Structure 1
């Protein structure tokens, strides 16, 4: 069974920030990386350190001998105890992505004013034609249907465990 946990309004977790929460019995860090939200268990698999309290950084790659490039800036969390690095979005370790990882969780931003999350407002005509499309015929003596403008005032960051 998947549980839904509301974390905070999206505007309270700006890009580059994180929040630490307890979801049931699971400690979790929720990160905003350039407008995308990610949640990972706040436990380093090495020695159970509070991983999400570590520095958010990037990492280096070596495309050729003696050449180093900085990459993934703001997408890596470094364990505060022993420096092990993990990709925030996947939970995979930087040094051994196939063998070491920490658990991650699905996140979403719900609410807001975009077309996908805003409730549609229907006029009496739209309701009437919709009913006819569904095979229901209105007799004409039904009471008028009241419709109201609906607006979601804020977006909320949500984690599913």
Structure 2
């Protein structure tokens, strides 16, 4: 285990080849499920629990959304930057975790990087156990 310069613990969770574009992986790190997805070449990691009712976010759609605009004007933006809860449709920014409807509500986001052929997560505490979990997704 290596501690990075930002005080986080580095955890290699899978090889880069195991997370192709659009694919998802699910890991349990000391009892906390973390979803991982590659979108447009970038890896995003998030707590696999919607803050609303705990629904697994690993099944959520990755979408864009309408952005503020003038009356009678409809502007689409944030393409592939939003993950939508599969149950009630709550939307969260994959980069910041902030909910689109309220900046006071967030989905926990983890730093995920591709380093030397591995996908690496940076977590707050040194993990005792890291397990890849099976899930079934027809996305």
Normalised by the length of structure 2, the TM-score is: 0.76
Give 1:87 shift.
Answer: 0.8
Structure 1 counterpart of 2:128: none
Equivalent position of 1:99 in the other structure: 104
Larger Rg: 1
Higher relative contact order (CA 8 A, sep 6+): 2
Structure 1's unaligned 5+ residue stretches are 112-154
Secondary structure at 1:59's aligned position in 2?
A: strand
Distance in 2, Cα, partners of 1:66 & 1:7: 47
Alpha-carbon RMSD: 1.6
TM-score normalised according to structure 1 size: 0.66
- The residue matched to 1:63 in structure 2 has which SS? coil
> Runs of 5+ in structure 2 lacking a partner?
1-6, 124-139
Deviation string for 1:29-70 (max 9, x for gaps)? 112122221211111111111123211111111311111122
Is residue 52 from structure 1 mapped to residue 58 from structure 2 by the alignment? yes
Say which of 30, 36, 50 aligns to 1:30: 36
Number of aligned residue pairs: give it: 117
